[in-house]
C-alpha cells in the first residue's frame, strides 16, 4: 500500500462490536481477565491501550517500521530514546537540533553523566573525529531548525553502522511523507506528532519507531516503566489527523515554495533558507534524500529596514507563535522564542541571529499568504 492509503486505513478498524469506521477511544485504565493468565491483549493502559496501539500500527507503517511507541509529547519520545543509554555513554548530537532536544540532552542527560559532543553534522569528518570507544549513538535531525540545514542520513548511518552506533533521526520537520530515515539506514525515527503528523495544533504527542525487534522491545519497556505513553484521547486525535497527512504536506510544500521564492526576491530580505530553492547550498542533497522540501522556511530580515515587532503586528494571516506543522501559518523569531533555551553562544554558533525569522507555512490559499507578507514587509 502507498502512504496515502496506509494513512487512512492502517490500524484503524478495531471495533468488532459495531464495525465503526473510526477507531474508538478506550479510556479504560484496566481490563478484566477471562481467567488467570488470560486476557484479550490488554491489562493496564500505561502498558498498552487499544486506541494507542491503533495509532502505533498506523505510524509504524508510514515509516516502514515494525515497532512504534506512542508518547505523551515529542520530548517524551526523545527521552525514551536517550534512556536506551546510560551514564558514561557518549552520544554525538547535531549542533542545531530542536531547542528542547538540546536542553534535554545538555541540561538533563549530560548532568546525569552522559557524555555529549555537539557537532556540525554537515561535515562527516567532524563526526568521525568524535567517535571514541564509548560512543553509542548518533542523534540526527534534518532539516534542522530553524535554518533548514541538511545532513546526509545515508552517509551518517553508514558511518554509524561501521562503528556499531545506533542512528536516531528526528524526522518531525518533514514527516514520513517527505522523508523515511529507516529506508536511509537509521535504526530509530522520532517524531513530535504535535507537528505535521497530527497537523491541527490541538494535541501534543510523540512517537518512536524502529524495525529492530530488540530496540523495539527495549523502548516498550522504557515507555511502560517510566509512564510516558500518551492518553487514548490524544491517540484518537492524532489518528484522525494523520489520515490527511499526505494532502496537507503537499499543500504546505506548495505554499512554502511560493513564499520562499517571493521572499528571495524581496529587497528587505537578506537571505532565505529553504531546501527547495536551487540557491540552498544543499539543494542536491535535498533532492537525493527527501521526496519533498516541507513547509518550514526561515529568512534573515534586513533589520536596517525592517522592525520585527511592526512586521509581526501588520501580518493578518501569520500568527506570532512557536510550533509548526498545523494547518495555520505561524511566524516567530527563534532568537527570543523557540530557541531562547539555547545559550547566546550556542545560538550564534548555530547561525541564529536576532534577524532570523522562521515561518511555519500553513495550508491557506497561496496568494492570500503572499499578499499578506508583502503588505507587512513593504
Residues annotated as part of the active site: 46, 98, 170, 195
CB-nearest residue to ligand PLP = 74
Please identify, using beta-carbon distances, which residue of 49 and 193 lies nearer to ligand PLP.
193
Judged by CB under 6 A, which of 3, 51, 58, 192 binds ligand PLP? 192
Strand-by-strand arrangement of the 269-273 sheet: 269-273, 296-301, 356-360, 330-332, 319-320
Tell the burial category of 228 from Cβ atoms under 10 Å away from its Cβ (0-12, 13-18, 19+). Answer: buried
Judged by CB under 6 A, which of 90, 195, 248, 280 binds ligand PLP? 195
Residue range at the interface with ligand PLP (CB under 6 A); choices 30-38, 46-54, 97-105, 228-236: 97-105
Which DSSP string corresponds to 257-301? HHHHHHHHT-TTEEEEE-TTSTTSTTHHHHHHH-SS--SEEEEEE
- Compute the distance between CA of residue 216 and CA of residue 208 in angstroms, rounded to an integer: 9
How many residues lie near ligand PLP (CB under 6 A)? 16
Strand-by-strand arrangement of the 67-71 sheet: 67-71, 206-210, 188-192, 166-170, 135-141, 90-94, 115-119
> Positive or negative, the Cα torsion across 52, 57, 63, 68?
positive
Q: Is 101 in the site for ligand PLP (CB under 6 A)?
A: yes
C-alpha 62, offset from chain centre: 14
Please identify, using beta-carbon distances, which residue of 69 and 101 lies nearer to ligand PLP.
101
Residue range at the interface with ligand PLP (CB under 6 A); choices 120-128, 170-178, 269-277, 281-289: 170-178
Q: Is 231 in the site for ligand PLP (CB under 6 A)?
A: no
Residue range at the interface with ligand PLP (CB under 6 A); choices 6-14, 58-66, 190-198, 227-235: 190-198
Judged by CB under 6 A, which of 60, 79, 98, 347 binds ligand PLP? 98
**Please, which of residues 127-146 interact with ligand PLP by CB under 6 A?**
141, 145
Containing 310, the helix (H) or strand (E) segment is: helix 308-314
Judged by CB under 6 A, which of 100, 185, 351, 354 binds ligand PLP? 100
Name the minimum Å distance from CB 78 to ligand PLP.
6
Residue range at the interface with ligand PLP (CB under 6 A); choices 94-102, 152-160, 283-291, 304-312: 94-102
Phi and psi dihedrals of 300, rounded to 5? -100, 120
Contact 276, 262 (CB under 8 A): no
Contact 204, 197 (CB under 8 A): no
- Compute the distance between CA of residue 135 and CA of residue 165 in angstroms, rounded to an integer: 7
Any idea how long the chain is? Answer: 378
Judged by CB under 6 A, which of 75, 91, 156, 297 binds ligand PLP? 75
Residue range at the interface with ligand PLP (CB under 6 A); choices 2-10, 169-177, 281-289, 364-372: 169-177
Please identify, using beta-carbon distances, which residue of 122 and 195 lies nearer to ligand PLP.
195
- Compute the distance between CA of residue 125 and CA of residue 92 in angstroms, rounded to an integer: 12
Contact 275, 283 (CB under 8 A): yes
Q: Is 289 in the site for ligand PLP (CB under 6 A)?
A: no
Name the minimum Å distance from CB 122 to ligand PLP.
17
Angle formed at CA 106 by CA 101 and CA 111, multiple of 5 degrees:
135
Q: What is the DSSP letter of 183?
A: G
Judged by CB under 6 A, which of 3, 10, 58, 73 binds ligand PLP? 73
Q: Is 180 in the site for ligand PLP (CB under 6 A)?
A: no
Q: Is 206 in the site for ligand PLP (CB under 6 A)?
A: yes
Q: Is 170 in the site for ligand PLP (CB under 6 A)?
A: yes
Please identify, using beta-carbon distances, which residue of 174 and 376 lies nearer to ligand PLP.
174
Q: Is 194 in the site for ligand PLP (CB under 6 A)?
A: yes
Tracing cell 545538555 back to the chain, one arrives at 106
- Compute the distance between CA of residue 42 and CA of residue 228 in angstroms, rounded to an integer: 17
Q: Is 234 in the site for ligand PLP (CB under 6 A)?
A: no
Q: Which residues bind ligand PLP (CB under 6 A)?
A: 73-75, 98, 100-101, 141, 145, 170, 172-173, 192, 194-195, 204, 206
Amino acid at each position: 500500500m502507498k502512504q496515502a492509503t496506509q494513512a487512512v486505513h492502517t490500524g484503524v478498524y478495531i471495533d468488532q462490536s459495531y464495525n465503526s469506521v473510526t477507531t474508538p477511544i478506550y479510556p479504560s485504565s484496566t481490563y478484566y481477565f477471562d481467567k488467570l493468565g488470560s486476557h484479550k491483549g490488554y491489562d493496564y493502559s500505561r502498558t498498552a491501550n487499544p486506541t494507542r496501539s491503533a495509532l502505533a500500527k498506523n505510524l509504524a507503517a508510514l515509516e516502514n517500521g515494525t515497532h512504534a511507541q506512542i508518547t505523551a509529547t515529542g520530548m517524551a519520545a526523545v527521552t525514551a530514546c536517550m534512556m536506551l543509554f546510560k551514564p558514561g555513554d557518549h552520544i554525538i548530537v547535531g549542533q542545531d537540533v530542536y531547542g528542547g532536544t538540546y536542553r534535554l540532552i545538555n541540561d538533563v542527560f549530560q548532568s546525569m553523566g552522559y557524555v555529549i559532543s555537539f557537532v556540525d553534522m554537515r561535515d562527516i569528518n567532524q563526526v568521525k573525529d568524535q567517535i571514541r570507544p564509548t560512543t553509542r549513538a548518533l542523534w540526527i535531525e534534518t532539516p534542522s531548525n530553524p535554518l533548514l540545514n541538511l545532513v546526509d542520513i545515508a552517509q551518517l548511518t553508514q558511518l554509524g553502522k561501521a562503528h556499531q552506533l545506533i542512528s536516531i533521526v528526528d524526522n518531525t520537520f518533514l514527516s514520513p511523507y517527505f522523508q523515511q530515515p529507516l529506508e536511509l539506514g537509521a535504526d530509530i525515527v522520532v517524531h513530535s506528532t504535535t507537528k505535521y503528523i497530527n497537523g491541527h495544533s490541538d494535541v501534543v504527542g510523540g512517537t518512536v519507531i524502529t524495525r529492530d525487534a530488540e530496540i523495539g522491545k527495549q523502548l516498550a519497556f522504557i515507555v511502560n516503566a517510566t509512564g510516558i505513553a500518551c492518553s487514548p484521547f490524544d491517540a484518537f486525535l492524532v489518528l484522525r489527523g494523520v489520515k490527511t497527512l499526505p494532502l496537507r504536506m503537499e499543500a504546505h510544500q506548495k505554499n512554502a515554495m511560493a513564499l520562499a521564492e517571493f521572499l528571495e526576491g524581496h529587497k528587505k530580505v537578506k537571505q532565505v533558507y529553504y531546501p527547495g530553492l536551487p540557491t540552498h547550498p544543499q539543494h542536491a542533497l535535498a533532492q537525493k534524500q527527501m521526496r519533498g522540501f516541507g513547509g518550514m522556511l526561515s529568512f534573515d530580515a534586513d533589520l536596517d529596514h525592517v522592525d520585527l515587532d511592526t512586521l509581526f503586528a501588520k501580518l493578518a494571516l501569520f500568527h506570532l507563535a512557536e510550533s509548526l506543522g498545523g494547518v495555520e501559518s505561524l511566524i516567530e523569531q527563534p532568537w527570543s522564542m523557540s530557541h531562547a533555551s539555547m545559550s547566546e553562544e550556542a545560538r550564534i554558533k548555530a547561525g541564529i541571529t536576532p534577524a532570523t525569522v522562521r515561518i511555519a507555512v500553513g495550508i491557506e490559499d497561496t496568494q492570500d499568504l503572499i499578499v499578506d507578507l508583502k503588505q507587512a514587509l513593504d
